[in-house]
């Protein structure tokens, strides 16, 4: 991968990297990151941090995604309502049965065409073909999958059968509240794409693994972050 360029920045590279990691890894506002850096005697304004995130987050997201292993072929699809620029919009998301965020799409509509658009993105960008697609009882999924010829893989279950997707909305809800909503559809799409890449890298089901395994997973996650921001 071609190295990121941190030239012509007043602050050292390590400061920029650490600020980006804090912002995308945790549910912090830009002002929170400013305060944390100030505690380390690094005086940088939240507007500068915002410029860093805007400049570097697309490249970091692409790099982190390349470093991830292939996802599982069992997909869970769901949508959630969010406020973007004061408007009611829908965030369509897909994850696998391990909790890996596969893709997401911010759209104005909640209909068959919106579901089909998400599915076409998934089928075109994922390295594996699906073996099972689980959704809730929304009829738009059935119609979209029938148009694409994947109705034989569809399982429209009750809420508990799609709990994996429902529970994965929680980190986004936390960020949405912390950021006081998203300002535009394009900025929401960009931020959530990067957030998903960082979430996939650092997500560990810590209640299911031993402490030595957790330490190993954390070391691997930080190694992937170091490569993505090299």
Query: Rounded to two decimals, what is the model's pTM?
Result: 0.87
Q: What's the pLDDT score for residue 121? A: 92
3-state secondary structure of 164: helix
Average pLDDT, whole number, for the chain? 89
Q: Are both 144 and 85 inside the same structural domain?
A: yes
DSSP string, 75-98: EEEEEEEEEETTEEEEEEEEEETT
Question: Confidence class of residue 158 from pLDDT cuts 50, 70 and 90?
Answer: low
Q: Which of 149, 84, 90 is closest to 114 using CA atoms? A: 90
Residue 99: the pLDDT is 86
Is residue 161 predicted with pLDDT exceeding 90? no
Q: Within this chain, do residues 63 and 85 fall inside the same structural domain, yes or no?
A: no
219 lies in some domain: no
Give how many domains the chain has, as a whole number. Answer: 2
**To the nearest whole percent, how much of the chain has pLDDT over 90?**
52
Task: Please give the pLDDT value at position 181.
Answer: 82
229 falls within a domain: no
With a CB cutoff of 8 Å and minimum separation 6, the contacts of 96 are: 71, 72, 73, 74, 75, 76, 102
Cite the beta strand spans of 136-188 per DSSP E: 154-156
Q: Is 52 helix (H, G, I), strand (E, B) or coil?
A: helix
DSSP state for residue 105 in the 8-state scheme? E
Residue 162 has pLDDT above 80, yes or no: no
Do 23 and 104 belong to one domain? no
More confident residue, 66 or 209: 66
Rounded CA gap, 27 and 136, in Å?
28
Does residue 139 sit in the same domain as residue 40? no
Distance CA 96, CA 71 (A): 7
Give the residue numbers spanning the domain of 143: 74-183
pLDDT grade for 117, boundaries at 50, 70 and 90 = very high
> What local confidence, expressed as pLDDT, does residue 87 receive?
87
200 within domain boundaries: no
* Per-residue model confidence as pLDDT tens digits over 21-65: 999 999 899 999 999 999 999 999 999 999 999 999 889 999 999
Same domain, 60 and 84: no
CB distance 52 to 10 below 8 Å: no
- The verdict on residue 141 lying in a domain is yes
């Amino acid at each position: 991968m071609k190295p990121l360029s941190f030239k012509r920045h007043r602050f050292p590279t390590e400061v920029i990297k650490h600020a980006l990691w804090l912002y995308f890894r945790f549910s912090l506002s830009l002002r929170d990151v400013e305060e944390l850096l100030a505690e380390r005697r690094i005086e940088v304004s939240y507007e500068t941090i915002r410029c860093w995130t805007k400049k570097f987050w697309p490249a970091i997201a692409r790099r982190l995604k390349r470093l991830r292993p292939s996802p599982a072929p069992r997909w869970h699809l769901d949508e959630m309502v969010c406020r973007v620029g004061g408007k009611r919009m829908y965030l369509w998301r897909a994850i696998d049965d391990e909790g890996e965020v596969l893709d997401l799409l911010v759209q104005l509509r909640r209909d068959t065409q919106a579901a089909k658009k998400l599915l076409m993105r998934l089928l075109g960008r994922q390295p594996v073909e699906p073996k099972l697609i689980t959704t809730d009882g929304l009829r738009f999924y059935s119609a979209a999958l029938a148009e694409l010829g994947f109705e034989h893989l569809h399982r429209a279950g009750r809420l508990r059968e799609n709990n994996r997707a429902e529970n994965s909305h929680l980190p986004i809800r936390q960020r949405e509240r912390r950021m006081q909503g998203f300002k535009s559809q394009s900025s929401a799409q960009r931020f959530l794409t990067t957030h998903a890449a960082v979430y996939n890298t650092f997500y560990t089901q810590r209640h299911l693994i031993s402490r030595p395994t957790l330490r190993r997973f954390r070391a691997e996650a930080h190694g992937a972050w170091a490569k993505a921001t090299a």
